[in-house]
């Protein structure tokens, strides 16, 4: 349902997913935004790992897949080393923050939570990061997160590979392999940052550029492959997501209202409240927000 909301509303619908989870599971809204942040962190780490593996570990396989090795050996490959260093640095900072620094940072940002504007939003982001990181309490939790993230994105790479191969040698003039699909997925993830309501946009364009510029596929089949990848991996969620939203009594107007209300609440470093079983209630005075110093839920 959450991804269907993103499909309908674009990136403005991103907050809908944690809000729906909070209502469905009867959990605090800030905790769900913390989990949302943790999920995004895992996705970013996976995207960085996919790009680094394809460019640094499997360059020979990229050559077998028909990739332009001049492109691979130029700036993108050097950029992969920078990306790998950034990823390692980010992980180190987050581990230290999770173990030692979360409480001190939260206390130092206490005033910012009520300041509004950019400072309130920044404090809200940091609070959400703290909530999400607190979900990883044991080494088993960490390994579970790594395993499920790897399984999810391995399946995504396989889908990219199978869709490309489904067009046949007459369209894809190369022996596309797993490493090549990894690189196309990494490029597509960069473009997916720009998500227009109902039509996508950035993901298809990035896939098209990757297929034509890196793998030398003709524009017509590259456009068809890019659209099919978008339909299969993203638009397909609406086949179940929209009926489930309707079953839950949700309309697109309510989803838009929910996203707009959350955006306004974020301006002052808060989150909106969710009440009711089938309808969304957005009260003015009883937002369920995370207060500075609250213990992680």
Q: Is the per-residue pLDDT at 102 higher than 70?
A: no
Count Cα neighbours of 4 within 13 Å in the Cβ-side half-sphere: 17
pLDDT digits (tens, 9 = 90+) for 195-208: 655 555 678 888 89
pLDDT digits (tens, 9 = 90+) for 31-66: 787 788 888 888 888 888 888 888 887 777 777 777
Q: What confidence tier does 159 reach under pLDDT thresholds 50, 70, 90? A: very high
Q: Any residues with CB less than 8 A from the CB of 123 and at least 6 apart, and which?
A: 109, 112, 113, 115, 269
Q: Is the per-residue pLDDT at 158 higher than 90?
A: yes
Q: What confidence tier does 95 reach under pLDDT thresholds 50, 70, 90? A: confident
Q: What local confidence, expressed as pLDDT, does residue 149 receive?
A: 92
pLDDT digits (tens, 9 = 90+) for 253-292: 777 787 777 777 666 556 776 654 334 444 433 334 444 4
% pLDDT > 90, the chain: 6
Distance of CA 4 to the CA centre of its chain: 14
CB atoms within 10 A of CB 202: 18
Q: What local confidence, expressed as pLDDT, does residue 283 receive?
A: 40
The arithmetic mean of pLDDT across residues 21-25, rounded, is: 80
Task: State how far the Cα of 285 lies from the Cα of 297, in Å rounded to an integer.
Answer: 22
The arithmetic mean of pLDDT across residues 98-113, rounded, is: 67
pLDDT digits (tens, 9 = 90+) for 201-256: 678 888 898 888 888 888 888 889 988 998 888 888 888 888 888 887 777 777 77
The arithmetic mean of pLDDT across residues 79-83, rounded, is: 79
Give the three-state DSSP class for 196.
Answer: strand
Q: What confidence tier does 154 reach under pLDDT thresholds 50, 70, 90? A: very high
Q: Is the per-residue pLDDT at 296 higher than 50?
A: no
Task: State how far the Cα of 244 lies from the Cα of 246, in Å rounded to an integer.
Answer: 5
Q: What local confidence, expressed as pLDDT, does residue 64 receive?
A: 73
- Provide the b/e sequence for 30-58 (b: ≥16 CB within 10 Å): bbbbbbbbbbebbeebbbbbbbbbbbeeb
- Region of 287 (left: φ > 0; alpha: ψ -120 to 50; beta: rest) is beta
């Amino acid at each position: 349902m959450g991804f269907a909301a993103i499909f309908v509303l674009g990136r403005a619908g991103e907050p809908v997913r944690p809000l729906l989870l909070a209502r469905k599971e009867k959990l605090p809204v800030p905790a769900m935004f913390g989990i949302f942040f943790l999920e995004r962190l895992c996705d970013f780490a996976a995207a960085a790992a996919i790009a680094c593996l394809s460019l640094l570990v499997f360059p020979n396989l990229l050559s077998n897949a028909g990739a332009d090795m001049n492109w691979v050996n130029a700036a993108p490959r050097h950029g992969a080393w920078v990306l790998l260093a950034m990823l390692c640095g980010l992980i180190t900072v987050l581990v230290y923050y999770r173990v030692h620094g979360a409480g001190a940072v939260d206390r130092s940002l206490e005033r910012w939570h009520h300041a509004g504007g950019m400072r309130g939003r920044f404090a809200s982001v940091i609070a959400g990061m703290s909530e999400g990181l607190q979900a990883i309490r044991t080494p088993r939790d960490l390994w579970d997160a790594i395993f499920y993230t790897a399984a999810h994105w391995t399946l995504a790479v396989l889908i990219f590979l199978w869709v490309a191969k489904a067009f046949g040698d007459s369209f894809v003039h190369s022996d596309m392999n797993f490493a090549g699909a990894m690189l196309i997925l990494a490029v597509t993830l960069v473009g997916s940052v720009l998500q227009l309501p109902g039509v996508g946009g950035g993901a298809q364009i990035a896939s098209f550029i990757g297929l034509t510029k890196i793998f030398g596929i003709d524009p017509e089949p590259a456009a068809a492959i890019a659209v099919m990848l978008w339909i299969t991996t993203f638009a397909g969620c609406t086949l179940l997501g929209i009926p489930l939203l309707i079953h839950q009594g949700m309309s697109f107007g309510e989803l838009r209202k929910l996203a707009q209300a959350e955006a306004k609440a974020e301006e002052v470093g808060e989150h909106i409240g969710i009440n009711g079983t089938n309808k969304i209630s957005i009260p003015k005075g009883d937002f369920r927000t995370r207060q500075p110093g609250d213990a992680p839920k």
